[in-house]
Amino acid sequence: MDKNLSQLLARACDAIRNEIGTGQVASYIPALARVDPKKLGAAIVTVDGQVARYGDADEPFSMQSISKVFTLTLALEQIGEKLWERVGREPSGNSFNSIVQLEREHGIPRNPLINAGALVVCDVLLCQRSPDQAIAAILEFVRSTSDDASVSTDPEVAQSEAETGFRNASLANFMKSFGNLTHDVDDVLHVYFHQCAIAVSCAQLARAGLFLATNGSDPQTHRPFISAQRARRINSIMLMCGHYDASGEFAFRVGTPGKSGVGGGILAIVPDRAAIAVWSPALTSAGNSHAGTAALEQIVREAGWSIF
Ligand code: GLU
């Protein structure tokens, strides 16, 4: 562990401790409502192999929508540019589970990082795979990018989402009616709920995101996950769309590509330098971690890592 990096991380997180607990945990998924809102974890993994951890950095939390970055990567590897015939790549300006835009835009979701777009991505991953095989492929990808075979799905969270995922079911049925889902709606939802229920710690998540900071190849295992151009493009989608209708605010305050999840985690990518993961479960009204965003803002400012 690098001492300077650890000191920087500790200084940045200590500075925002009074933000911890502001906001609400995601109560619409009952299994998430039980999480302690006072947690704060953070981890940085740099391209040259330094690692720094803070607070609850090793405690697993629900990845939720951060998983959309990994499924998007898999779907692009699977069908390439054809994905863009079924999902856009523009910021939505709407909440993560909005149905309004879908009607006006004929069942084509604005981008792959909102729920509707992620459901289309699941549909792609179901091509020539059973739902269980699709879930296994997603898990396998997160395990290989994090270089940690212990990463798993939390079955209780997946079950809880399935029991209460009426809005996601509506989005999926709506897109099916426009012909933008080719598989059974229940199968698509099953895969989606399981990808969201993957549990990771900040340390695992930062490591899993590192390939996006290093032109698509893992700097330590040298595994070439994706091309440099694809990594750049995924980063640009994260920057524009990674925080729903608060993506502009995140770019303004933090200034890096990032993806949040309603579990309270955020993955931020600093191209050519590092991947950062933060976790604090209390969310803003837009569904993004309040203290996590504050921590990232402080870390990126102290390190001088804004891309702007
Ligand atoms: N599983 C959540 C949902 O579909 C993910 C939302 C999020 O993390 O933003 O509602």
- Could you tell me if 300 and 13 are in contact, meaning their C-beta atoms sit under 8 angstroms apart? no
- Percent of the chain scoring above 70 in pLDDT: 99
Please, what is the average pLDDT of the chain?
Answer: 96
Q: Residue 112's closest CA among 249, 241, 230?
A: 241
Q: Is the CB of 62 under 6 A from ligand 1?
A: no
Mean predicted confidence (pLDDT) in 105-133? 97
Half-sphere exposure of 1 (CA within 13 A, CB side): 12
CB-count exposure of residue 22 (10 Å: 0-12, 13-18, 19+) = middle
Q: Is 28 a catalytic residue?
A: no
What pLDDT shows up at residue 3? 72
- Could you tell me if 29 and 290 are in contact, meaning their C-beta atoms sit under 8 angstroms apart? no
Q: What distances in angstroms separate CA 231 from CA 76, 164, 171, 269, one per listed residue?
A: 11, 34, 28, 11
Mean predicted confidence (pLDDT) in 215-243? 96
Mean predicted confidence (pLDDT) in 88-116? 90
Whether the predicted pLDDT of 2 surpasses 90: no
CA distance 269 to 255: 10
Q: Is 98 a catalytic residue?
A: no
Query: Which residue's entry shows tokens 């897109």?
Result: 175
What pLDDT shows up at residue 1? 52
Q: Is the CB of 64 under 6 A from ligand 1?
A: yes
Distance of CA 11 from the midpoint of ligand 1 (Å): 31
Q: Is the CB of 262 under 6 A from ligand 1?
A: yes
Mean predicted confidence (pLDDT) in 166-175? 96
CATH of range 65-196; options 3.40.430.10, 1.10.1740.10, 3.30.230.10, 3.40.710.10: 3.40.710.10
Confidence of residue 127 (pLDDT cuts 50, 70, 90): very high
Q: Is the CB of 65 under 6 A from ligand 1?
A: yes
Q: Is the CB of 195 under 6 A from ligand 1?
A: no
Strand ranges, E, within the chain: 41-46, 51-55, 61-62, 152-153, 198-200, 258-260, 265-270, 274-279
What phi and psi, each to the nearest 5 degrees, are found at residue 211? -60, -25
Residue of 124, 146, 192, 259 marked active site: 192
CA distance 99 to 8: 42
Distance of CA 175 from the midpoint of ligand 1 (Å): 17
Q: Which residue among 196, 283, 293 has the greatest number of ligand 1 atoms within 8 angstroms of its CB, and so is best to mutate? A: 196
Q: Which residue among 35, 68, 95, 96 has the greatest number of ligand 1 atoms within 8 angstroms of its CB, and so is best to mutate? A: 96
Residues 3-61+200-303, CATH architecture: 3-Layer(aba) Sandwich (3.40)
Confidence of residue 204 (pLDDT cuts 50, 70, 90): very high
Distance of CA 262 from the midpoint of ligand 1 (Å): 6
- CATH 3.40.710.10 positions along the chain are 3-61+200-303, 65-196
Tell me: the pLDDT tens digits for 258-303? 999 999 999 999 999 999 999 999 999 999 999 999 999 999 999 9
292: helix, strand or coil: helix
Confidence of residue 95 (pLDDT cuts 50, 70, 90): confident
Residue of 244, 247, 254, 278 marked active site: 244
Q: Residue 206's closest CA among 17, 29, 54, 39?
A: 54
Lowest model confidence (mean pLDDT) among 86-100, 189-203, 228-242: 86-100
